């Protein structure tokens, strides 16, 4: 009887976590409906990059075995998900800084519902970003040139990358003391990582030092993995580093390694900040 009672208690706790998390997620989504500007970093900003690079640099940068627009979209998809860490980070830092969690803790809700609800809502924002970027790519002439299984795998890789960036952004929001700190740390890390990479230009065109950095940069690996699965040109240099020569396997390994490191750290940091 004790075993059955314990099992029933665990199932009840799981149902409570799911129910309470969905309530928090609906609250976050309601904020987005009221303030749609929160999605600017994953909608309008990437569109500006598409227009800028596709039409301004599209005729200047030569890509072996393909067009620059076919090469560009895979990189901007990855860049968009990378810059997407600002959403969950800012949202979490704002709520923790304004004491919203203290109000929730006065209610009979699961202790992890606030964190899980944030994750669910921000994952929806990432889904919007992917849809917007794919649609804009199709408009400017980008096409999926692989078969259906590989295309599905490409979207699966984007979903895995979004999940990884979501944990990174949440960790940043938990440890940051204010949204201003989030902006400073985010731009100091994400901005150079996305530009000293194969996001917009092939690694072969970079000078020594920057080229080697770009080849081992996870952003380059993710961009090459997405391009490879979509059947787009990757412009991978001869004798490139292993992550760039095996982009799909490298991308999955990078994501799993980061999730394994960041997810437990986020839970620990969240527990430490919200205890007391």
Domain ranges in the chain?
2-274
* Of 61-70, 105-114, 158-167, 246-255, the least confident: 105-114
Rounded distance, CA 212 to CA 228, Å? Answer: 20
- 0.85 exceeded by pTM: yes
Residue 111 has a CB neighbour count (10 Å cut-off) of: 14
Q: Assess contact for 110 and 20: CB atoms under 8 A.
A: yes
Higher confidence at residue 47 or residue 30? 47
What average pLDDT does this structure show over 255-266?
96
Q: Assess contact for 31 and 38: CB atoms under 8 A.
A: yes
- Strand, helix or coil for residue 40: helix
Confidence of residue 263 (pLDDT cuts 50, 70, 90): very high
DSSP, res 232? -
Long-range pairs for 208-216: beta carbons < 8 A, 24 or more residues apart: 211/237, 212/241, 215/240, 215/241, 215/243, 215/244, 216/241, 216/243
Give the pLDDT of residue 8: 47
């Amino acid at each position: 009887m004790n075993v059955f009672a314990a099992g029933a208690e665990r199932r009840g706790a799981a149902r409570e976590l799911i129910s309470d998390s969905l309530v928090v997620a609906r609250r976050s989504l309601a904020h987005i409906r009221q303030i749609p500007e929160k999605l600017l970093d994953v909608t309008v900003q990437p569109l500006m990059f598409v227009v800028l690079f596709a039409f301004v640099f599209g005729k200047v940068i030569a890509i072996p075995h393909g067009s620059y627009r076919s090469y560009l979209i895979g990189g901007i998809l990855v860049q968009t998900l990378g810059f997407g860490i600002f959403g969950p980070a800012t949202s979490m830092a704002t709520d923790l800084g304004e004491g919203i969690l203290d109000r929730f803790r006065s209610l009979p809700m699961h202790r992890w519902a606030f964190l899980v609800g944030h994750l669910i809502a921000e994952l929806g924002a990432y889904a919007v970003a992917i849809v917007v970027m794919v649609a804009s790519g199709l408009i400017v002439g980008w096409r999926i040139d692989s078969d259906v299984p590989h295309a599905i795998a490409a979207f699966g890789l984007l979903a895995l990358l979004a999940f990884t960036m979501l944990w990174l952004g949440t960790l940043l929001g938990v440890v940051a003391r204010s949204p201003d700190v989030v902006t400073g740390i985010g731009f100091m890390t994400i901005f150079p990582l996305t530009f000293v990479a194969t996001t917009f230009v092939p690694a072969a065109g970079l000078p020594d030092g920057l080229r080697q950095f770009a080849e081992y940069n996870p952003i380059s690996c993710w961009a090459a993995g997405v391009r490879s699965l979509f059947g787009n040109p990757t412009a991978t240099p001869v004798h490139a580093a292993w992550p760039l020569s095996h982009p799909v396997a490298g991308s999955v390994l990078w994501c799993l390694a980061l999730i394994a490191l960041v997810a437990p750290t986020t839970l620990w940091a969240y527990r430490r900040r919200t205890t007391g």
